[in-house]
Amino acid sequence: MLGGTASASGIFDEPLNEFKSVMATRAIEDFYDSDTKRGFYGGGRIDGRWGFMGPIGYALGGLPPDAPLWGAGYKNFVKENFNRTMTCQSYMTSLPLETNNITLDPDVKDAWGLPAMRVTYKEHPDGLKVKQYFLERSLEILEAAGAKKKWGNPVRETTSSGHLMGTCRMGNDPKTSVVDKFNRAHDVPNLFIVDGSSFVTSGRNHPTCTIEALAFRAADDIVKSAKNGSLFQRSAVKSA
Protein backbone atom coordinates (compact mmCIF):
# COMPACT_ATOMS: atom_id res chain seq x y z
CA MET A 1 0.00 0.00 0.00
CA LEU A 2 1.28 3.45 -0.91
CA GLY A 3 -1.32 5.83 0.49
CA GLY A 4 -3.33 7.93 -1.94
CA THR A 5 -2.76 11.65 -2.44
CA ALA A 6 -4.54 14.48 -4.23
CA SER A 7 -3.75 18.16 -4.32
CA ALA A 8 -5.22 21.47 -5.44
CA SER A 9 -3.65 24.92 -5.30
CA GLY A 10 -4.84 28.50 -5.30
CA ILE A 11 -3.31 31.95 -5.72
CA PHE A 12 -4.47 34.75 -3.42
CA ASP A 13 -4.42 38.53 -3.71
CA GLU A 14 -2.44 39.09 -0.54
CA PRO A 15 0.94 37.57 0.48
CA LEU A 16 0.58 34.60 2.82
CA ASN A 17 4.02 34.88 4.48
CA GLU A 18 3.92 31.22 5.48
CA PHE A 19 7.52 30.63 4.45
CA LYS A 20 8.86 32.31 7.56
CA SER A 21 10.43 30.09 10.26
CA VAL A 22 9.24 26.48 10.71
CA MET A 23 6.44 25.49 8.37
CA ALA A 24 3.13 24.78 10.12
CA THR A 25 0.17 23.00 8.56
CA ARG A 26 -3.45 22.67 9.53
CA ALA A 27 -5.38 19.53 8.59
CA ILE A 28 -9.12 18.89 8.63
CA GLU A 29 -10.67 15.46 9.03
CA ASP A 30 -14.24 16.29 8.02
CA PHE A 31 -14.06 13.51 5.41
CA TYR A 32 -12.04 11.02 7.47
CA ASP A 33 -14.80 8.45 8.02
CA SER A 34 -16.39 6.36 5.30
CA ASP A 35 -19.77 7.38 3.94
CA THR A 36 -21.63 4.98 1.62
CA LYS A 37 -23.44 7.93 0.04
CA ARG A 38 -20.19 8.94 -1.65
CA GLY A 39 -20.06 5.72 -3.65
CA PHE A 40 -16.68 4.52 -2.38
CA TYR A 41 -15.14 3.13 0.80
CA GLY A 42 -12.24 5.39 1.65
CA GLY A 43 -11.62 8.61 3.54
CA GLY A 44 -8.75 10.78 4.68
CA ARG A 45 -7.71 14.30 5.56
CA ILE A 46 -6.96 17.58 3.82
CA ASP A 47 -3.79 19.39 4.87
CA GLY A 48 -3.27 23.10 4.20
CA ARG A 49 0.31 23.65 3.03
CA TRP A 50 2.01 26.67 1.53
CA GLY A 51 3.29 26.37 -2.01
CA PHE A 52 5.35 23.28 -2.75
CA MET A 53 7.54 23.36 0.38
CA GLY A 54 9.99 25.89 -1.04
CA PRO A 55 10.72 28.23 -3.94
CA ILE A 56 12.63 25.65 -6.00
CA GLY A 57 9.89 23.03 -5.68
CA TYR A 58 7.29 25.67 -6.51
CA ALA A 59 9.20 26.81 -9.58
CA LEU A 60 9.68 23.26 -10.86
CA GLY A 61 6.26 21.76 -10.17
CA GLY A 62 3.90 24.11 -8.36
CA LEU A 63 2.71 26.46 -11.10
CA PRO A 64 -0.77 26.40 -12.68
CA PRO A 65 -1.08 24.72 -16.11
CA ASP A 66 -1.36 28.03 -17.99
CA ALA A 67 1.65 29.70 -16.36
CA PRO A 68 4.66 30.64 -18.52
CA LEU A 69 7.45 28.06 -18.28
CA TRP A 70 10.40 30.02 -19.68
CA GLY A 71 11.99 33.42 -19.82
CA ALA A 72 11.13 36.67 -18.08
CA GLY A 73 7.44 35.82 -17.83
CA TYR A 74 8.27 32.61 -15.98
CA LYS A 75 10.64 34.33 -13.54
CA ASN A 76 8.18 37.13 -12.87
CA PHE A 77 5.33 34.66 -12.26
CA VAL A 78 7.35 32.71 -9.69
CA LYS A 79 8.51 35.91 -7.98
CA GLU A 80 5.02 37.38 -7.75
CA ASN A 81 3.03 34.27 -6.84
CA PHE A 82 5.21 31.98 -4.71
CA ASN A 83 4.26 33.83 -1.55
CA ARG A 84 0.61 34.02 -2.60
CA THR A 85 0.05 30.33 -3.30
CA MET A 86 -1.51 27.77 -0.98
CA THR A 87 -1.88 24.05 -1.62
CA CYS A 88 -4.45 21.68 -0.14
CA GLN A 89 -2.69 18.30 0.03
CA SER A 90 -4.86 15.27 0.82
CA TYR A 91 -3.72 11.94 2.23
CA MET A 92 -6.20 9.10 1.99
CA THR A 93 -7.00 5.41 1.96
CA SER A 94 -5.15 2.89 -0.19
CA LEU A 95 -6.94 -0.45 -0.17
CA PRO A 96 -4.81 -3.57 0.43
CA LEU A 97 -4.81 -6.00 -2.50
CA GLU A 98 -3.25 -9.46 -2.60
CA THR A 99 -2.11 -8.80 -6.16
CA ASN A 100 0.09 -5.91 -4.95
CA ASN A 101 3.31 -7.44 -3.70
CA ILE A 102 7.08 -7.44 -3.61
CA THR A 103 8.88 -10.53 -4.91
CA LEU A 104 12.27 -11.60 -6.23
CA ASP A 105 12.40 -11.38 -10.01
CA PRO A 106 12.98 -14.84 -11.56
CA ASP A 107 15.08 -13.43 -14.40
CA VAL A 108 16.51 -9.98 -13.62
CA LYS A 109 19.72 -9.90 -11.54
CA ASP A 110 21.32 -7.01 -9.70
CA ALA A 111 24.98 -5.90 -9.90
CA TRP A 112 25.99 -8.74 -7.54
CA GLY A 113 24.19 -11.44 -9.48
CA LEU A 114 21.34 -11.73 -6.98
CA PRO A 115 17.65 -11.72 -7.95
CA ALA A 116 16.40 -8.15 -8.30
CA MET A 117 13.41 -6.88 -6.37
CA ARG A 118 10.18 -6.74 -8.34
CA VAL A 119 7.38 -4.44 -7.19
CA THR A 120 3.91 -5.19 -8.51
CA TYR A 121 1.33 -2.48 -7.81
CA LYS A 122 -1.96 -1.42 -9.35
CA GLU A 123 -4.37 0.95 -7.68
CA HIS A 124 -7.85 -0.22 -6.73
CA PRO A 125 -10.58 1.68 -8.68
CA ASP A 126 -11.94 2.80 -5.30
CA GLY A 127 -8.72 4.71 -4.68
CA LEU A 128 -9.20 6.82 -7.81
CA LYS A 129 -12.72 7.73 -6.70
CA VAL A 130 -11.38 8.83 -3.32
CA LYS A 131 -8.76 11.03 -4.98
CA GLN A 132 -11.32 12.72 -7.21
CA TYR A 133 -13.60 13.37 -4.25
CA PHE A 134 -10.82 14.96 -2.18
CA LEU A 135 -9.64 17.01 -5.14
CA GLU A 136 -13.13 18.48 -5.52
CA ARG A 137 -13.38 19.23 -1.79
CA SER A 138 -9.99 20.95 -1.87
CA LEU A 139 -11.07 23.19 -4.75
CA GLU A 140 -14.17 24.11 -2.78
CA ILE A 141 -12.03 25.09 0.22
CA LEU A 142 -9.78 27.30 -1.92
CA GLU A 143 -12.84 28.93 -3.48
CA ALA A 144 -14.34 29.62 -0.05
CA ALA A 145 -11.00 31.02 1.17
CA GLY A 146 -11.03 33.60 -1.61
CA ALA A 147 -8.44 32.29 -4.06
CA LYS A 148 -8.47 34.41 -7.21
CA LYS A 149 -7.16 31.46 -9.22
CA LYS A 150 -7.31 27.75 -8.41
CA TRP A 151 -6.42 24.47 -10.09
CA GLY A 152 -6.12 20.80 -9.28
CA ASN A 153 -3.51 18.26 -10.26
CA PRO A 154 -4.96 15.51 -12.51
CA VAL A 155 -6.08 12.36 -10.69
CA ARG A 156 -3.77 9.49 -11.61
CA GLU A 157 -2.74 6.11 -10.26
CA THR A 158 -0.08 6.27 -7.55
CA THR A 159 3.35 5.30 -8.89
CA SER A 160 5.59 6.49 -6.04
CA SER A 161 5.31 7.33 -2.37
CA GLY A 162 7.30 8.28 0.69
CA HIS A 163 5.06 6.13 2.88
CA LEU A 164 5.35 2.42 2.03
CA MET A 165 3.09 0.03 3.92
CA GLY A 166 2.16 -3.63 3.84
CA THR A 167 3.80 -6.89 2.60
CA CYS A 168 4.72 -8.09 6.14
CA ARG A 169 1.28 -7.81 7.68
CA MET A 170 0.63 -8.22 11.41
CA GLY A 171 -1.64 -11.00 12.67
CA ASN A 172 -2.08 -13.99 14.96
CA ASP A 173 -2.14 -16.66 12.24
CA PRO A 174 1.23 -17.46 10.62
CA LYS A 175 -0.65 -18.69 7.53
CA THR A 176 -2.04 -15.23 6.81
CA SER A 177 0.49 -12.89 8.43
CA VAL A 178 4.24 -12.36 8.78
CA VAL A 179 4.65 -10.82 12.27
CA ASP A 180 2.74 -11.10 15.54
CA LYS A 181 1.31 -8.20 17.57
CA PHE A 182 4.79 -7.33 18.86
CA ASN A 183 6.26 -7.25 15.32
CA ARG A 184 8.10 -10.54 15.89
CA ALA A 185 8.31 -12.72 12.77
CA HIS A 186 6.35 -15.97 12.97
CA ASP A 187 8.87 -18.01 10.96
CA VAL A 188 12.30 -16.54 11.72
CA PRO A 189 13.61 -16.79 15.31
CA ASN A 190 13.89 -13.43 17.04
CA LEU A 191 13.47 -11.37 13.90
CA PHE A 192 11.53 -8.17 14.57
CA ILE A 193 10.21 -6.17 11.60
CA VAL A 194 9.27 -2.70 12.81
CA ASP A 195 8.21 -0.36 10.02
CA GLY A 196 5.20 0.32 7.82
CA SER A 197 5.27 -3.19 6.34
CA SER A 198 3.33 -4.60 9.31
CA PHE A 199 0.27 -2.46 8.52
CA VAL A 200 -2.86 -4.35 7.49
CA THR A 201 -4.43 -1.17 6.06
CA SER A 202 -2.95 2.11 4.89
CA GLY A 203 -4.83 4.18 7.42
CA ARG A 204 -6.03 7.66 6.55
CA ASN A 205 -3.20 9.80 7.88
CA HIS A 206 0.57 9.78 7.54
CA PRO A 207 1.81 6.56 9.20
CA THR A 208 4.92 7.85 10.98
CA CYS A 209 3.43 8.23 14.46
CA THR A 210 1.80 4.79 14.29
CA ILE A 211 5.09 3.22 13.24
CA GLU A 212 6.81 4.92 16.18
CA ALA A 213 4.16 3.62 18.59
CA LEU A 214 4.59 0.06 17.27
CA ALA A 215 8.35 0.42 17.58
CA PHE A 216 8.10 1.45 21.25
CA ARG A 217 5.79 -1.50 21.95
CA ALA A 218 8.07 -3.95 20.16
CA ALA A 219 11.08 -2.59 22.07
CA ASP A 220 9.26 -3.05 25.39
CA ASP A 221 8.48 -6.65 24.47
CA ILE A 222 12.09 -7.32 23.48
CA VAL A 223 13.33 -5.96 26.81
CA LYS A 224 10.81 -7.99 28.82
CA SER A 225 11.54 -11.17 26.87
CA ALA A 226 15.28 -10.68 27.27
CA LYS A 227 14.97 -10.18 31.03
CA ASN A 228 12.82 -13.27 31.65
CA GLY A 229 14.83 -15.43 29.23
CA SER A 230 12.00 -16.19 26.83
CA LEU A 231 13.65 -14.29 24.01
CA PHE A 232 16.61 -16.69 23.93
CA GLN A 233 14.53 -19.76 24.79
CA ARG A 234 12.31 -19.18 21.81
CA SER A 235 15.36 -18.84 19.59
CA ALA A 236 16.82 -22.10 20.87
CA VAL A 237 13.58 -23.98 20.37
CA LYS A 238 13.08 -22.59 16.88
CA SER A 239 16.64 -23.38 15.87
CA ALA A 240 16.34 -26.92 17.13
Active site residue 163: yes
Nearest to 133 by CA among 86, 93, 85: 93
In angstroms, the Cα distances linking 129 to 5, 171, 206 are 12, 29, 20
Q: Which residues contact 83 (CB under 8 A, 6 or more apart)?
A: 15, 16, 17, 19, 51
The active-site residue out of 124, 163, 186, 206 is 163
Q: Which residues contact 28 (CB under 8 A, 6 or more apart)?
A: 45, 46
Residue-wise over 141-176: b if at least 16 C-beta within 10 A, else e?
bbeeeebeebbbbebeebeeeebbbbbbbbeeeeee
Catalytic positions, written as ranges: 163
